[in-house]
C-alpha cells in the first residue's frame, strides 16, 4: 500500500476505523469480481484501488454516530460466607 494514498484517504474520511471499514468492504467486492471504478489500475493492489477510488470521490459512505444502548450488568463478586 502506498502511504501517500493512505494519508490522503485518511484526511478525506477523518476516522481511521471508518477508513478501514470502507476499504475492507471495497477490497472484498473487488476480490470477488467487482470492476474497479477507476481506469488506471495497472500495478495496483486491491487496497490501493479502493483507496484511490475513495480519494477520487468514486465511493461514498454514511457517517453515523454510534450510541451503545446495551444494558450494563455487574456481577456481585463477593462470596457469602456460611457460618
37 DSSP assignment: S
For residue 32, the model assigns a pLDDT of 95
What's the residue count for the chain? 83
Distance of CA 65 to the CA centre of its chain: 15
Residue 53, C-alpha cell as written in the block: 477510488
Domains of the chain: 3-55 (3.90.940.10)
pLDDT reading at 62 higher than 70: yes
Mean pLDDT of 61-69: 75
Global model pTM greater than 0.85 = no
Place of cell 493492489: 45
Q: Grid coordinates in use for 40? A: 488506471
State pLDDT tens for residues 1-55.
789 999 999 999 988 999 999 999 999 999 999 999 999 888 999 999 999 999 9
- Hunting for cell 471504478 — which residue is that? 37
Amino acid at each position: 500500500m502506498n502511504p501517500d494514498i493512505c494519508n490522503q484517504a485518511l484526511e478525506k474520511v477523518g476516522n481511521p476505523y471508518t477508513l478501514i471499514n470502507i476499504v475492507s468492504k471495497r477490497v472484498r467486492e473487488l476480490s470477488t469480481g467487482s470492476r474497479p471504478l477507476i481506469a488506471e489500475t495497472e500495478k495496483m493492489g486491491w487496497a490501493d484501488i479502493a483507496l484511490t477510488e475513495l480519494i477520487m470521490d468514486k465511493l461514498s459512505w454514511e457517517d453515523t454516530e454510534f450510541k451503545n444502548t446495551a444494558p450494563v450488568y455487574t456481577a456481585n463478586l463477593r462470596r457469602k460466607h456460611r457460618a
